[in-house]
Chains A and B, each alone.
Chain A
Amino acid sequence: MPPVDDLRGFLAVLKENGQLLEFDETVQPEPDLGSAGRAVSTVGGEAAPALLFNSIAGFHDARVALNVHGSWRNHALMLGLPAESTVKVQFDTLRTRWQKFPVPVDRRGEAPWQEITVRGDDINLFEQLPVFRLNPGDAGPYIDKSAVITRDSADSDNFGKENVGLYRLQVKGPRKLGIQAAAPHDFQRHVSSASKLKEGLPVAIAIGNDPIIMLAASTPLDYDQSEYEMAGAWRDGVPYPVATAPLTGLTVPWGSEIVLEGEVHYEDREFEGPFGEFTGHYSGGRMLPTITIQRIHTRKNPILEALYLGIPWTEIDYLIALNTSVPIFEQLHDAFPEVKAVNAMYTHGLVTIVSTSIRHGGFGRVVGLRALTIPHGIGYSKIVIVVDETVDPFNLEQVMWALSTKFNPEFDAITIPRMYEVPLDPSSLPTGITTRMVMDATTPRPPDERGSADPEVTSFPDAERWESIIKDALA
């Protein structure tokens, strides 16, 4: 089945597979939408459906979609896999398709989001979009699931450096947004370039997209790797459809429901937040840049897509699970071909589990330390657990067994103080600084002789034959 080019196409796929719940009765922006976003993860777990609300109080024709990525079933359907596909199968699919990168984009002319355009002072984001407060302690309504597109002003013709990122946007006024990014993010490099040239930074914000571009937008790619060309790879080689935003000239998804265009004010910093974040905690307030919106383009009867964030697991955890794990795997594997798999599904990789074969004694900790210095590891990878290649890092029972029996805190815990990390981790002190820890739970190898008198339990080769017998008996 070819990949879908827009959100409506994917909602149809979800519906065909029993993964979409539609609500036609009118709901209140608050507290209904945020409450439903929380509840669907609690009730549905790994099989939770997406939600589509067709009537929002006070709006004529607004619609809101939630939890589009919010279960392993939805995630599998996004990849064109059977809904029941295991996490490991989905990891391997993304890893295999990664090899097709880069896939040139499919640049198209007219886009569906060009149906309606509102300009300048006629814009009122609160009235034209059904934005809402997601959690009680949030500063106000946020646009929390969009593709934010900017260029490097110092190298504006470099398509690879045109960034598509997922950043939270506080709706602060009729035409005003606040935007949050951290120091290692590509957006911050673009702000720095604009600041040096003393130019405003054009920005496009695409809302309500096909699911693959949101997966790519929230993937920690290298600075000059194009999210659009990665989306093509993850569409199994089918070029990603894009169009040109008329005011800014930025490249935006062809299939979006809503496209905003405007300018980032690189010199301004203004109080933003708090907002309930992917850490499962409210962020503190920060001084952050602002954006003025100059155009809103929408389809007729557009769908505002939003993302629920709360105490894990919620939709955000599914969205940034495997697209965090795969690039860390690729970057580690480039350095050490012994690395077999990476599970960085916990809070965007603040805890990362790596399985690897071992060259020699002490090798596990070498691999673990490397995970701290790859691009994503600089801001995340607070705790890295390294296990043998025989341990599946997605199987937490196996990982806990390795930690229980192969890890001696006196010898196998490495701590490095005063490291940078994403400021949103509430345990950091000062904000954005933490100690890192590598836990080497691989089996000691010579010349480290620990445990050599107590080898792992083996089983009779006949156990495999008995597996078949028992499976047949159970069938």
Chain B
Amino acid sequence: MSAILCPRCRSTAVSEVAYSPVPDVWSMSSCSMCWYAWRSTEGPSARDPEQYPKEFRLSAGDLTSAPTTV
């Protein structure tokens, strides 16, 4: 499955970045906006934007207001 939206920040900057060494077992997708990554074999709460838990979602503001600690 190739998601159009990042489940966590809902950006469209999403791409598949890896495939299982044993073919066709899983793929790994990554968001280059918030750097969330998920595997195609994870449950829908990890990969479906509609089911991703509300408490872990990020807004554009969350990404720009994150503190710099080092």
Contacts and interface: CB of A to CB of B under 8 A. Distances in A.
A137 B55 contact: yes
A137 B56 contact: yes
A29 B28 CA distance: 12
Interface residues of A, number: 45
Contacts of B68: 269, 286-288
A172 B20 contact: no
A272 B62 CA distance: 12
B11 to A, nearest CB: 11
A423 B18 CA distance: 33
A127 interface: yes
Contacts of A124: 17-18
B20 A127 contact: yes
Interface residues of B, number: 33
A423 B67 contact: yes
B41 A127 contact: no
Given A137-B55, A431-B67, A173 B30 contact: yes
Nearest to B42: A30
A409 to B, nearest CB: 33
A423 B70 CA distance: 11
Interface string B14-57: 00011111100110101000111111011101100000010110
Interface stretch (A56-64, A95-103, A248-256, A337-345): A56-64
Contacts of B17: 124, 126, 173-174
A45 interface: no
Interface in A243-276: 269-272, 274
A126 B45 CA distance: 21
Contacts of B46: 30, 133, 136
Contacts of B67: 284, 286-287, 423, 431
A225 interface: no
Interface string A349-382: 0000000000000000000000000000000000
B19 A127 contact: yes
A127 B69 contact: no
B53 A137 contact: yes
B13 interface: no
Given A58-B21, A127-B20, A172-B35, A191 B70 contact: yes
B54 to A, nearest CB: 11
A284 B62 CA distance: 10
A174 B18 contact: yes
Contacts of A126: 17-18, 28, 37
B58 interface: yes
A289 interface: yes
Given A127-B20, A136-B46, A431-B67, A28 B41 contact: yes
A320 to B, nearest CB: 19
B22 A59 contact: yes
A104 B18 CA distance: 42
A21 interface: no
Nearest to A288: B70
A140 B58 CA distance: 14
A182 interface: yes
A432 B21 contact: no
B56 A274 contact: yes
B25 to A, nearest CB: 4
B63 interface: yes
Contacts of A140: 30, 35-38
Most A CB within 10 A of own CB, among B8, B18, B20, B34: B18
B39 to A, nearest CB: 6
B22 A172 contact: no
A183 B66 contact: no
B20 A58 contact: yes
A287 B22 contact: no
Interface in A175-203: 178, 180-183, 185, 187-188, 191
Contacts of A170: 35
A212 interface: no
A44 interface: no
5 A-B pairs with least C-beta separation: A58-B20, A140-B37, A126-B18, A58-B25, A287-B68
18 contacts: A29-B26, A29-B41, A31-B43, A58-B21, A124-B18, A126-B18, A127-B21, A133-B46, A137-B55, A141-B37, A172-B30, A172-B35, A173-B17, A188-B70, A271-B63, A272-B35, A274-B56, A432-B69
Interface of B: 8, 17-22, 25-26, 28, 30, 34-39, 41-43, 45-46, 53, 55-56, 58, 62-63, 66-70
Given A31-B43, A137-B55, A139-B37, 8 more contacts: A58-B22, A126-B17, A126-B28, A140-B35, A140-B37, A170-B35, A423-B69, A432-B69
